[in-house]
Amino acid sequence: MKEYLKHDEWCIIEEGFNPENNRISESVFSIGNGRMGQRANFEEAYSGDSLQGSYVAGIYYPDKTRVGWWKNGYPEYFAKVLNAAYWIGIDIEIDGETLDLAKCKIESFRRVLNMQEGYLERTFVATLESGKQVKVAAKRFCSIVDDEVGAIRYSITPLDFSAAFIISPYIDADVINEDSNYDEKFWEEVNAKVKRRQAYVTAETKKTAFQVCTGMKFAIFQDGEEIDFNSFRHHREKYVACGVDIMAREGEEIVIYKYVGVLSSLNHAPEALQGNCETVVRDAFDKGFDQLLKEQANAWQQKWEEADIKIEGDISAQQSIRFNIFQLYQTYTGKDERLNIGPKGFTGEKYGGSTYWDTEAYCLPFYLATADAKVGRQLLVYRYKHLEKAIENAAKLGFTDGAALYPMVTINGEECHNEWEITFEEIHRNGAIAFAIYDYIRYTGDQAYLAEHGLEVLIGIARFWAQRIHYSERNQKFMMHGVTGPNEYENNVNNNWYTNYIAVWCLKYAMEAISYVKENEPEQFKRIEEKIKFYELTETKQWKKIAGNMYFPKDEQLGIFVQHDGFLDKEMKTVKDLKPEDRPINQNWSWDRILRSVFIKQADVLQGLYLFEDHFDESTLRRNFEFYEPLTVHESSLSPCVHAIIAAKLGMEEKAYEMYLRTARLDLDDYNNDTEDGCHITSMAGTWMAIVRGFGGMRVQDGVVAFNPFIPSNWKSYAFKIRFGGHILEVVVRPGQTQVSNHSNDGITIKVFENNHTIGAGQTLNLNGTKNKS
């Protein structure tokens, strides 16, 4: 754990520069707008250790699979969102000496991510090897108003000298992905153009033939006045730059304003790309940096008005929840149904920028409650449009008759994960896709989605489970062998409780959905029946047999559900038995040792109890939590939030708060020693859930939103807003007091502490009591 970032309610602050933390900071201080993103690399040259990263949503390359032993069914490639043209670059040369912080003495350094207004700022004073000292202040952002625009204000002041400067803003598309399987470059130049103060380069991805045009236009001011200049125009393959000679005078600030457009062929015809990019850049240039920044601040103010969580009395907790919400909104806006949420967003290369089951299990609840309902719907439609690919994925593994297996990792619907224990065995992911449909309809009441899209997906998933499950004559039970559950520290196990449970739930929910559509939308049902060749009586007969006679491992003596067959035969140790130098075990132990151990990577049985808590009584939840949590190392970013929510429900307030801080500050404090690869974007939605569903106790029960809040003992208050049924509700919790305000034009009935209350339009409900004080 690294705690070098300063605590502040609205900003992430780094004071002083430690090169060993640079990759972590590059991840944490990343900026984006849902269409593109940029790691917190330096504008000027830096020869030290760095992971350069500029990313464009939806632009990927199918990197050929690299494995030691090829197995039938392996995907042929791993889809990777590519490191794209480096648009922030501004080289500074001073009397022939390059400004490079790796070669300077850094006198002072400060980096600030302003989450309230949506920009990154960096200031430093550095002494060059020649002894010359400069002061630099840089500010940049990716506009969420004009989401193809990036803007930079970069100022440099010679503090104790006058000298000739060469200032060279540039665009460099000659970039690599550090995680390339075969060390190849993925971009080829299509065309380039350099003018006096403008430059453009269009590059195309190999194989997938996506094109991206990145262009810039810049202005230079000296001592407050814009200067005219001629530039040296540079062009080499995939690189364009404009070099400007300036005589810098001691104490006089030089300011470079750089305006950038990043346009892709996802949204523009290739032949129109450069022309459209020139228009976008010109419009940004004409609008000017200050106006763009003002619009950015106003747009973020609106987002914060809708989604902010306010915590009084705990700056660390306040900073972290805002950081998580900020990164979620930088990653996904819901504007484009072709896009989804990669586990690292725009903050790093790991996981390829592709979509995992994380979206459905963790991100959907956040967007349902904080954004328009159509945003959540878009996430479901994304999966519906990949249904045919899911059927193809299942067919590659030998499944037939329209069985659908959604991919573990994808960017276009095709499976591209190439580890057998995940690709072939971590099939519980199918359950997350089905549960998301249920969760969306439960929250929004949009039953029409079933007939339009949802039922086809549910039937495809049910068909998969019906074929994947087998009947054991010896045990007279249906079983499922050879799976990996959410706990990826166990592979190829038999009868993982969570996988068995969610499979049966999927079969039951599919049958419920069939009955609903058949009764309420008979014409639609007939259309679906014919389209997918669905034979209701024959197929549902088998589903009912499975659902009524499935094997679920359980230990009667302990009163717990057993994670999988044989789990209790392991040597039983707890996380407290581990030595500090063992942690994290995935970086210090052999895989063999991990697989033999009892330690759990993330919620497994508890994942099921979280999703289906209303299926079990509190004593069952408690026994399982108290058994499994001490075995859990939380080395998945997705783990702490589930534990926080269950602990809160059980009244285990200290554990709930401990788990909240772990999920909330996972990246800020680098808990798992892996933030340098990028931030854990999808798990950030879990941080929001830990407060709203955990501390706030929010649930939807029979179409009514319910709250059962408690407040951590060191907090003075907390407040959040949610959207529900066309209403905007604000919940404020203080010790011994709960307040719910209805910021809507219509009244609403809600439930608080199991009692119904009706709140009129614009009215506030005040109640004495919280779950921990009354």
Active site residues: 488
**Of 235, 238, 234, nearest to 82 (Cα)?**
238
* Residue 496 · residue 604 · CB < 8 Å: yes
**Of 598, 592, 586, nearest to 635 (Cα)?**
586
3-class DSSP string for 179-238: CCCCCCCCEEEEEEEECCCEEEEEEEECCCCCEEEEEEEEEEEECCEECCCCCEEEEECC
Peptide bond into 407 cis (omega under 30): no
Chain position carrying tokens 């549960």: 435
The first and second tokens of residue 385, run together, are 């449009």
| 210 Rama sector, left if φ>0, alpha if ψ -120 to 50, beta otherwise | beta
The residues pairing with 172 across neighbouring beta strands, listed in sequence order, are 86, 239
Residue 32 burial (CB count, 10 A): 28
DSSP, collapsed to helix, strand or coil, labels residue 613 as: helix
Q: How far, in Å, CA of 307 to CA of 158, rounded?
A: 43
Chain position carrying tokens 């499976």: 415
| Side-chain-facing half-sphere of 740: CA atoms under 13 Å | 30
Residue 449 burial (CB count, 10 A): 19
**Of 359, 367, 368, 425, nearest to 386 (Cα)?**
359
What is each CA distance from 104 to 46, 52, 107, 162, 330, in whole angstroms? 10, 20, 9, 18, 33
| Percentages of the chain per state (helix, strand, coil), in multiples of 5 | 35, 25, 35
Q: Using alpha carbons only, what angle is made at residue 771 by residues 8 and 498, rounded to the nearest 5 degrees? A: 85
**Of 206, 169, 170, nearest to 185 (Cα)?**
206
| Side-chain-facing half-sphere of 403: CA atoms under 13 Å | 20
To the nearest 10°, report the CA torsion of 609, 612, 617, 622.
20
The residues pairing with 483 across neighbouring beta strands, listed in sequence order, are 493
Q: How far, in Å, CA of 529 to CA of 523, rounded?
A: 10
What is each CA distance from 401 to 535, 576, 604, 627, 678, in whole angstroms? 11, 49, 30, 41, 40
The residues pairing with 679 across neighbouring beta strands, listed in sequence order, are none
Please give the single-letter amino acid code of residue 773.
K
**Of 698, 705, 688, nearest to 758 (Cα)?**
705
Q: How far, in Å, CA of 500 to CA of 399, rounded?
A: 18
Residue 473 burial (CB count, 10 A): 7
